[in-house]
Structure 1
Amino acid sequence: MRVLALLLATLAVGLLAIGITLYLSWQLEGSGAAINAAGSLRMRTYRMALTLEHYASTRDPQLNTRLRAEDSDFRQTLELLRKGDPGRPLYLPDTPAVRQRFAEIEQDYARLSRHWFLPVEAGQPLQDWQAFRTDADQFVDRINDLVLSIEQLNTRRTLWLRSSQMFLVAMAVAGAFGQIYLMFLLIFRPLERLRGGISRMTEKDFTVRLPVESRDEFGEVQHSFNRMADRLEEAYGSLALRVEEKTAELNAQNGELSLLYDVVAFVNRPQTSQNLCQGVLERLLAWFGADAGSVRVIDPLKQSAWLMTSVGLPESLQEAEICRRHEGCHCAPARKGEVVIVQMLPHPGQASSICAEAGFQQVSAFPISAGDNHLGVITLHFADKRVVSERETQLLTTLGQHLGIALDNLRLAARDKELAVSEERNLMAQGLHDSIAQGLSFLNLQVQMLDDSLKRNATSEAQEIVPLLRAGVTESYEDVRELLLNFRTRLQEGDLPGSMQTVIDKFRKQTGIATSLKLTGQGRPLLADQQLQLLFILQEALSNVRKHSQATLVEVTLHNDTPLELMIRDNGRGFDEVEMARRAERHVGLNIMRERAERLGAQLDLINDKGVSVVLTMQRAVVTQGEGANV
């Protein structure tokens, strides 16, 4: 603000001096024009005097007219000097002496006009020419006095103008030096101090402070710099401690992330639940520095917790009855997601717990959960008291959730396997019941008839029954071989064409029927279970060809595209569609193929035209990497 005020004051003084100079110049210009106009009055006076002298000697009337014109010009010049002309500019100086002399000139001219010009204008003769010349000379002297007074005034104003110009020059020089000094004093010196302070602070000298000598902007900057230096000194003093704290915190977080990634990678490996719990427990013991630990899984039906694995746990705790009762042990989490930390500190009159008797002072327990299901609990036993932070508590909860999800996935995978085995066994049971059981029932009936014929000595009837028995035994034998083949069928990854060729080769050797395999298309891979169901449908269709078709040629075509199509076509005798519809429930093989097609989400059609064509049509399913095999 001080610099701004100084600049404004300097500007005001400079503008004032310039205004005075302009005013004086304007005054001088107007006075100079007035001197010229007043000087012209002398010329006009002498001109009128010559005109009167000529008139006095000649009495020419035209001179009268010229005299009136000269009188008019003289009066206009007087009027111009009286009022002035701002446009030129032209005006008399407004001083008493000048105005007095100008008034005397106007009065003398009025007297001269009455005494000399009016008679001449009236045509009267000029009485005394010498007296007029005397009056004219006196009148010119008065005009000279007026011009002289204006010139003297202009001389003084010229001196003032020069003085103001010299003052402007002096003020410009003084102002320049003054501004330079003030700029140095008010700006450059504070900036230099500020630069020096910043330079010292750059060299980590946080003790530097700037003197606050004013309350202007630079004073505020210096004060702010000092406050900044105070804070930097304080911050730098505690920087090492904070860096150490942050480094320790980051190391702890990195360690926790490393533990979390390690546990997540471990629980996603294919392994048994025992190994899964053992590996997670060992990692937790190593990380938290626990002296012992255990993993117990909850039986939801019996509401009991069974020990899955333990490390360093005394036998007394492993077999303790209270630890088997879920929510009966004081260190078991009462709610999902709750971490329990129990201090085993003895209190007067209170019986010690079995954990305290085993030498543990602290037990930390956290749940094993999968979604809303509480699956078990992990306990960490410490011989000494250990503080578990909130972040570690969250880590324990997260690890318990990952272990719970892994255990639940193992349970679901085992259940899926059991369901798949149960469904396959159900299909095999249907095959045993509806094919072999019927054959055995037929053989039993034929044996009874043979026994009856032998008792009646009906040898001819017995001889007719024996071929039937032999054919029934042969058919049952073939059925058993096919079922055993289905049981033994295994599909290697990416080997569906090879497995289909193996089935076809066995069929050709058993029956002697010419059989071919044709593969087309380059579609996406199928799941392993889908490929196995396709192989079972092929086996069942070939079995039906052997039993019923009396064919000599079989063509198998697999078109691997969208949709996928499997066709087994023979040149046999076909079937009676009316009889087929009537005995639909007794066609075990066809029902099994349709059940397998439903499991694939496919459509199974029978075409009875110059033989039988079994056509399976299936839309392609989306597979994940590693689950399917190329056809």
Structure 2
Amino acid sequence: MLRHLYHSLMFRLGLMMAAIILLAVLAASSSLMMANRIKGEAQSVNLAGLLRLQSYRIAAQLVYDNSIDQTRYRNDLAELITDFERQLASPALTAVAHAGRNSDLEAAYGLVVARWRDEINPMLDMYLSGLANADDPISEGAQTVIRARYLDNVPAFVGIIDDFTGLLARDAENKIHRLQLYQYSILAATLLLALLTLYLTYRKMRVPLQALLQMASSAGQGDFSGRTRYQGKDELGQLGAAFNLMSTDLERLYGDLEEEVRNKTADLERGRRSIELLYRTVNRLQGTSERPVDYRGLLTDVEELADTGPGTICLCDDVDMGAVMLASTFDKNYRGDGCGFDDCARCLRHENAEMVTFDELGEDGLPMIAVPIRDHSLHYGVLLIQLPEGQSPEPWKKRLLETVANHIGIALTMSRQATERRRLALLEERSVIARELHDSLAQALAYLKIQVVRLEKNLQSPQDSKTTGAIIVEIRQVLTAAHRELRELLSTFRLRMDRQDLATVLATTKEEFDGRNAVDIRLDYRLRHSELDANEEIHLVQIVREALTNVINHSGAKHCSIRLESLDNQDLQLTIEDDGKGFTETSERQFHYGLTIMRERANILGCELECGVSRMGGARVRVCFTPECRRSGITRSDRGRA
């Protein structure tokens, strides 16, 4: 505790301020004390002067003519003697004379008192007693002798009083001199302490505080390299040491933060470049029939954004177990095709991204990273990327290249799936065409073949000309119907081959029949999305075309409506209505082939064809069936993904 106080700056400054205050108090108290003493000395000097004056007044009284008023004379003289004794015994004189500080002054006062008591006062008492005794008055001669003796002793007595007065004055001067010396000493000590305080304040406070303020200013500007040189054990020294320690910690922390910021900035930049590369990769891999996939541009993007060298994409060749180069950004002078390995298995055998080395025309090995191109269990090939000389692939760059390779694998898978879907769609279209031809033209041709055989037999019997004519009429009707159905099939297949959806096909069919006559045909399509397969769409379109053909040719209607909707029980319902003459025996006979075709197609859809009276008063044809996808629980989008 004491050691801490000894090194405490505040304690030192407090001691100095206390010393200065103490000196000021001492100076003030000494001044007051000296002032009081000097005040007494001045009074004693005045009294000593009065003693001298009183001695002369007594002498003057003695020589005064006493014949005028004897009593008054005697009283005045007695009063003067009494005043002298009172002044001689006054406390001011006795205090100074008997203070014990000046023996000469005390001796001089004693000499004055002794001379007065032993010589002067007895002489005057004798003189007054003689004057006061009326029975035995003092003679004139005796009075004269006493007066003469007093006057003779007065100069010597006044000289003694003068010596005493001089001693009093010199004693007062000495006290004033000592007071001045004391005041000067206190003033010098005060100035010395003040200078020492200022020096201590400058060395122990101003300099350290200025250094601390400079450190704080530098720290405010981000510079934590400054250190204070003041290393004392006082408060500012401890504060400076704490500041130095804090600056060291802040400098290290700030450096760590700056390093972390640089690392985070680099990570963000790498992330941005990675995202941009993946974005470009996805865009380039979305090839179409009009714009094929630009694999060379993809390699250029990898070289630009991943900060690598040129690269090559090689795909596995299932024929000779080798590889086929898909794209490359290497210089053509490098092995001619950008590949430095004669054995393709050296690149294709890797299951993960690995480093490989190419021998470039006998020079040092060229470091490259081989990244397998795969999609789940499908292995398509390898992505070869050259690395800067002397560098190994960083983890983030390795993951980025693996992601790019995976995207390439996914794109190749999707390309193969798209090719397979197109092939299956083509086979499905061929199957539909074959079935439609078999169900329509093939049956019509078989029927015509039978009629031709009948015609040949009737021609061999000329007498049966009536039957021959009926056969010819029947052949003509079948040919007409077959020709019409062929045209409708061609129109339907042409729309299907344009890959249009069911709503567009129905709208096109409506426009086609609108242009043939003045019947107002309205289409009410209420399906949000088509869930029909190709066969079901063909059958629905053919039913609509067959019904519209009958409306135009046989009904005599002015208005016709087509409505396709989905019912609450997940069935689809197709309704065709008109305001014509409806179904009659004649119209049914004329419409026999069309009704037969529609019933057959309805049976294929798994339902019955309903014929009746419409709300408009004409004919109504209705088909209500459950689509195959709803029966099996598979949607059309699921079939597309499959």
Q: TM-score, normalised by structure 2?
A: 0.51
- Rounded to whole Å, the distance in 2 between the matches of 1:412 and 1:252 is 34
Give deviations 1:293-349, integer Å, cap 9, x for gaps.
3323336798553333334456967599987x8xx52122521xx11221236xxxx
| SS of the residue 1:206 aligns to | coil
Contact 1:207–1:229 (Cα < 8 Å) also in 2 = yes
**In 2, Cα distance between equivalents of 1:303 and 1:515:** 67
Which residue does 2:485 correspond to in 1?
479
Aligned to 2:430: 425
User: 1:572 maps to which residue?
Assistant: 583
1:5-29 alpha-carbon deviations (Å, 9 max, x no partner): x99xxxxxxxxxxxxxxxxxxxxxx
AA at the equivalent of 1:208: R
Query: Does residue 1:590 correspond to 2:602, yes or no?
Result: yes
CA contact (8 A) 2:608 2:623 kept: yes
Question: 1:551–1:520: structure 2 CA closer, same or farther, 3 Å change rule?
Answer: closer
Q: 374, 381, 392: which one pairs with 1:387?
A: 392
Residue of structure 2 in register with 1:49 after alignment:
none
Q: Give yes or no for the alignment of 1:202 onto 2:209.
A: no
CA distance in 2, matches of 1:451, 1:609: 41
Q: Is structure 2 residue 526 aligned with structure 1 residue 526?
A: no
Residue equivalent to 2:60: none
Distance in 2, Cα, partners of 1:194 & 1:319 = 66
State yes or no: 1:369 paired with 2:374: yes
Contact 2:312/2:338, CA 8 A, preserved across alignment: no
Contact in 1 for aligned 2:547/2:576 (Cα 8 Å): no
State the match for 1:341 in structure 2.
355
Question: What pairs up with 1:44-443 in 2 under 5 angstroms?
Answer: 194-195=212-213, 197-202=215-220, 204=223, 206-209=225-228, 211-214=230-233, 221-233=239-251, 250-268=268-286, 270=288, 275-287=293-305, 293-298=311-316, 305-311=323-329, 312=331, 328-335=344-351, 338-344=352-358, 361-381=366-386, 387-443=392-448
Q: Which moved more, 1:250-259 or 1:269-278?
A: 269-278
- Distance verdict in 2 for CA 1:530–1:374, change over 3 Å: same
CA distance in 1, matches of 2:576, 2:556: 13
- Of the structure 1 ranges 421-430 and 291-300, higher mean CA displacement relative to structure 2 is found in 291-300
2:539–2:601 CA contact under 8 A, matched in 1: no
Aligned residue number for residue 444 of structure 1: 449
Following superposition, the deviation at residue 468 of structure 1 comes to: 2.0
The aligned length equals 422
Distance 1:524 1:456 in 2: 59
Rounded Cα–Cα distance in structure 1 between residues aligned with 2:383 and 2:405? 8
The question of whether the paired residues in 2 share the 8 Å contact of 1:291 and 1:383 is answered with yes
1:541 Cα offset (Å)? 3.3
Distance in 2 (CA, whole Å) between partners of 1:540 and 1:552 is 19
Shift of 1:435: 1.2
How far did residue 200 of structure 1 move?
Answer: 4.4
Q: Residues 567 and 615 of structure 1 are in contact (CA less than 8 Å); yes or no, is this contact kept in structure 2?
A: yes
Query: Residues 292 and 381 of structure 1 are in contact (CA less than 8 Å); yes or no, is this contact kept in structure 2?
Result: yes
How far off is 1:400 after superposition?
Answer: 0.9
Question: Does the Cα contact within 8 Å between 1:569 and 1:612 map onto a contact in 2?
Answer: yes
* Residues 299, 306 of structure 1: 8 Å contact kept: yes
Alpha-carbon separation, structure 2, partners of 1:418 and 1:465 = 45
Match of 1:542 in 2: 545
Residue 484 of structure 1, CA deviation? 0.3
Alpha-carbon deviation of 1:447? 1.5
Deviations 1:200-233 (Å, cap 9, x if unpaired)? 43353733226344488x7665433212223445
Q: Distance in 2 between matches of 1:273 and 1:296?
A: 21
Instruction: Decide whether the 8 Å contact of 2:347 with 2:382 is kept in 1.
Output: no
CA offsets per residue over residues 506-550 of structure 1, 9 Å max, x none? 44777x7x75433558x7853698899768613333326758996
SS in structure 1 of the partner of residue 393 of structure 2: coil
Distance 2:497 2:395 in 1: 51
Residues 538 and 568 in structure 1, CA contact (< 8 A), matched pair in contact too: no
Distance 1:225 1:540 in 2: 95
Structure 1 CA distance, aligned partners of 2:250 and 2:338?
62
- In structure 1, give the amino acid aligned to 2:376: G
Q: Distance in 2 between matches of 1:383 and 1:207?
A: 42
Which structure has the larger Rg over C-alpha atoms? 2
C-alpha separation between the residues in 1 aligned to 2:348 and 2:291? 21
In 1: Cα distance, 2:527 partner to 2:214 partner: 75
How many angstroms apart in 2 are the aligned matches of 1:297 and 1:407? 10
Secondary structure at the aligned position of 1:483 is classed as: helix
Q: Counterpart in 1 of 2:470?
A: 464
Shift of the 305–562 alpha-carbon distance from structure 1 to 2, 3 Å rule, reads farther
Distance verdict in 2 for CA 1:206–1:546, change over 3 Å: closer
TM-aligned CA deviation for residue 397 of structure 1: 0.5
Any conservation in 2 of the 1:207–1:233 contact (CA below 8 Å)? no
Change (3 A) 1:422 1:315: farther
1:168 aligned partner: none
- AA aligned opposite 1:447: V
Q: Secondary structure at the match of 2:345?
A: coil
Query: Is 2:612 the counterpart of 1:609?
Result: yes
Are the structure 2 counterparts of residues 429 and 383 from structure 1 closer, same or farther at C-alpha, using a change threshold of 3 Å?
A: same
Corresponding residue of 2:84: none
Q: What secondary structure, in the 3-state scheme, does the structure 1 residue paired with 2:480 have?
A: helix
Contact persistence 2:313–2:325 (CA under 8 A): yes
Please give the alpha-carbon distance, in whole angstroms, between the structure 2 residues aligned to 1:321 and 1:609.
79
Structure 2: 5+ residue runs without aligned partners? 11-196, 614-618
Return the TM-score normalized by structure 1: 0.52
Q: Report if aligned partners of 1:340, 1:364 keep a CA contact under 8 Å in 2.
A: yes
Shift in CA distance, 573/299, structure 1 to aligned 2, threshold 3 Å: farther
Aligned equivalents of 1:233, 1:484: Cα separation in 2: 84
1:526 partner SS: coil
* Cα pair 1:434 1:588 within 8 Å, conserved: no
Once residues 423 and 490 of structure 1 are traced to their aligned partners in structure 2, the CA distance between those partners, rounded to angstroms, is 11
Residues 541 and 344 (structure 1 numbering): CA distance in 2 closer, same or farther, change over 3 Å?
closer
Deviation at 1:436, TM superposition (A): 0.8
